[in-house]
Amino acid sequence: MGLSEGLIFRNRKVLAEQYIPPELRVRKREATFLVRKLLSRFSEGRAGDVVAIFGSPGRSGIGKTTLTKYVGYKLEELARQRGIRFKFIYTNVYSAPSLYEILTVIAGQLSPRINLKGSSTLEALKAIVDYLYEKSYYVLIAIDEFQNLVNSPKVDDAYLYSLIRIYEQVPPPDGIPRISYLLVASDYLVFSKLRSKMPQIESQITFRQHLEPYRVDELYEILEQRAQLAFYDNAWSPKILEIIASYYGVDGTGIRDGNARRAINALNTAAEYAEFEGSNVIMEEHVRKALSVDSMANVSAQDLEGLSTHELLVLLAVAQHTMRSSEPLTTGRLRQLYKEIAEYYGETPRGHSQFNQYINNLASIGLLNVTPSGKGMRGRTSIIQLPVEIPATALYEVVEEIIKRKTGIGVRNWI
């Protein structure tokens, strides 16, 4: 049996990062709205919209790029059917290129016949505008990771201004605007900044689409579509998709980051585990392993390696308690567990104030959550928990490895 055949995968490409599904089952409303709106402008001969698509700070994998490309490709398809000459141009300004570099990309995607060599920025703008006029072409230019242009100290305001308000620099010969923009940014902060820095550009924005992180039901639909395309019918079950969706969905019970990229990756990893084991079905255990490996990516190995042996012992005690019991872990109980584990490793347990210091330090680097206990408990007792995004089992294994290395003692029989 060749590697590509396998028992699980029908089509691996469907799980690749750049894959755009033929239909968007989630965000369908947003996509349809944008496609209709932009298409009607081309039909009426008055393009020139500036549309902003953005998420919330710190959230990614929420479909900004996917929605953008889907809208672009759909518009190309519909324009073709209606005999409208239209082209979608996608640029990603991840590395904050110069205006000239962006214009080169745009010209290159439009036609190899536009030659920008040796021309000034203004001439390059004019060459593009003239080409669109001559060919009666409409374009939608997507600028993904737009925040990099706004935030880059290398990119000056005049440059952004002449890109977005291109027709002020170079009016179209027949007065028909043919260029629309989709500005795709990580979050709204970029547009607030734009408003104070360059109100003339911000006021050009005709429509704003804010995207929220995905909910459990949305992730389920996204995963189901991928599973149907990527795997053989009997290789997957709704149950495994439910586990992944509720792990990543914002209203779920896991790390709740609402990130479709991570959810799809986890599905792919689980499938690879199943395949590696020679199984023809992706099972829950494959999914759990994939999830715990992914969530350990939240914990920096450097943070762990930088901890003292006794801090590691405290962390090990918390992980062990979390694996065994659903009882809240009080500082008193944790201290007792820590003492037992320390003694097991031949380490003398440290005193009260040192112990508190360890907890404070672990909390300050985000490895523990400490909350004051509610009523019914005496004194200044706190409840210690692992942050929801750190899985106890995976943490236990990693910390145990480090302690073994530091103390030279194996503890395989401890649990």
List residues binding ligand ADP (CB under 6 A).
17, 19, 21, 24, 26-27, 55, 60-66, 222, 260-261, 264
Using DSSP, state whether 179 is helix, strand or coil.
strand
Closest residue by beta carbon to ligand ADP: 63
Report what 24 binds from ligand ADP, Mg ion, none; CB cut-off 5-8 Å by kind. Answer: ligand ADP
| Cα-based distances in Å from 187 to 79, 107, 145, 244, 269 | 30, 28, 10, 25, 29
Of 205, 281, 214, 208, the residue nearest 247 (C-alpha): 214
Q: Please, what is the minimum distance in Å from the beta carbon of residue 19 to ligand ADP?
A: 6
Rounded CA separation 20/288 (Å): 26
Q: How many CB atoms lie within 10 A of CB 251?
A: 13
Nearer to ligand ADP, 61 or 72 (CB): 61
Q: Please, what is the minimum distance in Å from the beta carbon of residue 146 to Mg ion?
A: 11
Q: Is 66 in the site for Mg ion (CB under 5 A)?
A: no
Nearer to Mg ion, 182 or 274 (CB): 182
Nearer to Mg ion, 211 or 270 (CB): 211
Closest residue by beta carbon to Mg ion: 65
Contact call for residues 213 and 250 (beta carbons, < 8 A)? yes
Q: Please, what is the minimum distance in Å from the beta carbon of residue 67 to Mg ion?
A: 10
| Cα-based distances in Å from 218 to 56, 187, 211, 263 | 17, 20, 13, 11
Q: How many CB atoms lie within 10 A of CB 178?
A: 25
Q: Please, what is the minimum distance in Å from the beta carbon of residue 13 to ligand ADP?
A: 12
Nearer to Mg ion, 90 or 247 (CB): 90
Q: Please, what is the minimum distance in Å from the beta carbon of residue 201 to ligand ADP?
A: 22
Nearer to ligand ADP, 13 or 154 (CB): 13
Nearer to ligand ADP, 64 or 289 (CB): 64
Nearer to ligand ADP, 246 or 320 (CB): 246
User: Segment near Mg ion (CB under 5 A), from 39-47, 63-71, 83-91, 303-311?
Assistant: 63-71
Among 6, 27, 63, 65, binds Mg ion (CB under 5 A): 65
Nearer to ligand ADP, 265 or 330 (CB): 265
Q: Please, what is the minimum distance in Å from the beta carbon of residue 62 to ligand ADP?
A: 4
For the chain, the farthest-separated pair of C-alpha atoms sits apart, in whole angstroms, at: 85
DSSP secondary structure of 40-77: HHHHTT----EEEEEE-TT--SSSHHHHHHHHHHHHHH
> Which residues, 6+ apart, have CB-to-CB distance to 205 below 8 Å?
50, 51, 52, 183, 191
Rounded CA separation 115/366 (Å): 54
Q: Please, what is the minimum distance in Å from the beta carbon of residue 266 to ligand ADP?
A: 12
Nearer to ligand ADP, 42 or 191 (CB): 191
Report what 19 binds from ligand ADP, Mg ion, none; CB cut-off 5-8 Å by kind. Answer: ligand ADP
Gyration radius from the chain CA atoms: 27
184 sits in which H/E element: strand 179-187
Contacts 24+ apart (CB under 8 A), 315-318: 315/362, 315/367, 315/368, 315/395, 315/399, 316/341, 316/396, 316/399, 316/400, 316/403, 317/341, 318/368, 318/384, 318/385, 318/386
Contact call for residues 91 and 143 (beta carbons, < 8 A)? yes
Contacts 24+ apart (CB under 8 A), 391-394: 391/291, 391/292, 391/295, 391/296, 392/319, 392/320, 392/322, 392/323, 393/292, 393/319, 393/323, 394/292, 394/293, 394/295, 394/296
Report what 186 binds from ligand ADP, Mg ion, none; CB cut-off 5-8 Å by kind. Answer: none
Nearer to ligand ADP, 60 or 121 (CB): 60
Q: Please, what is the minimum distance in Å from the beta carbon of residue 244 to Mg ion?
A: 20
Question: Tokens 């809240």 appear where?
Answer: 328
Q: Please, what is the minimum distance in Å from the beta carbon of residue 75 to Mg ion?
A: 19
Give contact residues for Mg ion (rule: CB under 5 A).
64-65
